[in-house]
Each structure stands twice: as C-alpha cells, then as structure tokens.
Amino acid sequence: MELRARLQAATKEAMKARDSARLSTLRLIGAAVKDREIAARGGDGDGTLTEVDLIAIMSRMVKQRQESAKAYEEGGRLELAAKEEEEIRVIQEFLPRQMTEAETSAAIDAAIADLGAAGIRDMGRVMAALKDRHAGQMDFGAAGPAVKARLLA
C-alpha cells in the first residue's frame, strides 16, 4: 500500500480507537506533508510529493524528536522525553527498516565500485548515489565519514 494511503488509514484507525497520542502524531505528519506540498506548489511544480519526499519529511521529524528527547533528558524532564520517544515510535512505523552497520558498509562499497570512485573528488557522486538507492534507510550523517575514509584509503 502506498505510504500516503497507509498514513490516512492509520489516522482513521486512531480516530476510531480514540488513541489521542497516536492520532496527534499522525496529524503532525499530515500537517508536515501538507506544508511541504504547499511549498512545492509555490514554485513551478504541481505540489505532488513522491514516496522519497514523504520518507525524507518523516526522517527529519524523527531526527528532530530525537534531539528534543535528548534535551529533555538532560534537563530532567523525563515525561516530555518519553512523549517524544513515543512520537518517534509512531513515525518509524511508516519508515523503511534502517540498515545495519554491515549493510551500510556493503552499500558504500557497492556504490564506490559501481561508480568507479577513486578519490575524495568523487565523494559527492557516491553520496548522491547512496541517497538515491537508500533514502530513508541509511544514516547519512554516519555514512559521510565512512565514504570519506574509504575514498582516502
């Protein structure tokens, strides 16, 4: 089932089940998607978002909530940190499975081999290929230094 349809179905189920916490998070996702569609309409585009765009929006939402949860924990606000963690769990239900370190390493090696990357000048091409192939599945903040290390070796 398409990601957008899964989100809508989950929202309806949460309404029927009167699950206010889950419904709130699903509505936040819907609002973020709607905002992005409106922004896309502002240019020359028609405002339609692809699955990759939706995954990127939700990945960003997860990252924001992880940062907030960490800040709340450091500030001793454990109940707010728990709320952020719950939102993360709901959002992650709709994201593709994250790659393990071994899978990430293999994907980096494959991208370097496929592109024939030989030096640090090829890093942008390798990262672009990884983002095309593994959007939403890979932590690109960790992948960047790994790609750089392999290209320098």
User: How does DSSP assign 55-124, residue by residue?
Assistant: HHHHHHHHHHHHHHHHHHHHTT-HHHHHHHHHHHHHHHTTSPPPPPHHHHHHHHHHHHHHHT--SGGGHH
User: pTM for the complete prediction?
Assistant: 0.72
pLDDT digits (tens, 9 = 90+) for 84-137: 999 999 998 888 888 888 888 899 989 888 888 888 898 889 998 888 888 778
For the domain covering 101-152, report its CATH number: 1.10.10.410
In the chain, which residues fall in CATH 1.10.10.410?
101-152
Task: Return residue ranges of the chain for CATH 1.10.1510.10.
Answer: 3-92
Which pLDDT does position 43 carry in this prediction? 65
Class of domain 3-92 (CATH, top level): mainly alpha
